[in-house]
Amino acid sequence: MAVVRVVVRVRAVSRVVTIRAIAVVRAVAVVTIVRVVAIRAVAVVITVRVVAIRAVVIVITVRVVAIRAVIIVITVRVAIRAIAVVRIVVVRAIAVVTVVRIVVVRAIAVVTVVRIVVVRAVAVVTVVRIVVVRAVAVVTIRTVAIVITVRVAIRAVAVVTIVRVVAIRAVAVRVVAI
């Protein structure tokens, strides 16, 4: 009987031990499951943090892109202003060159007018010279005509005188002959 009792007790103890072992295993399993769930929760939190960090990185990237766009816009505006300033300078330079050209053209016009006046004065002087030369020529021609007329008259008088002398000699010869 004692052996049976021992066996029964051993079996009872082993059942208790088995039940307790199963309970311990279950508790360990529950703890493990809780740990896995906790790890998964931590992983989810980490994932959420990573997503949040990525979102922050995207926001920062967007801000950087926006800042770069603003810088590009500012640079373009500065370039446009610089181009406008250069255009203004070029327009002013063209205006100055145009004014200089106008002044040069006016000076050329004045010089041309002076040349025309000089040419007209030279033409007037030339006309006066021609008139004087013609007058001198007329006077010379008249003088020559007068001289020729005087010479002809002198020759005519000489001829008449010679004829008279010849006539007088002829008369004298006749008189002497008589």
Q: Output 106 or 171, whichever has higher pLDDT.
A: 106
Instruction: Provide the token pair at 121.
Output: 């004065």
Residue 99's alpha-carbon distances to 11, 90, 105, 115, in angstroms, are: 127, 14, 10, 24
pLDDT (tens digit per residue) in 64-84? 999 999 999 999 999 999 999
The three-class DSSP label of residue 178 is coil
Confidence of residue 178 (pLDDT cuts 50, 70, 90): low
Q: Does the structure show a pLDDT above 70 at 14?
A: yes
Q: What is the pLDDT at residue 110?
A: 96
Q: What is the pLDDT at residue 6?
A: 64
Amino acid identity at 177: A
pTM of the model: 0.42
For residues 25 and 31, give the distance between their C-alpha atoms in angstroms, rounded to a whole number.
10
Confidence of residue 114 (pLDDT cuts 50, 70, 90): very high
Q: Provide the mean pLDDT of the chain.
A: 90
For residues 72 and 64, give the distance between their C-alpha atoms in angstroms, rounded to a whole number.
12
Q: What is the pLDDT at residue 43?
A: 94
Provide the CB-side half-sphere exposure for 142 (13 A, CA): 6
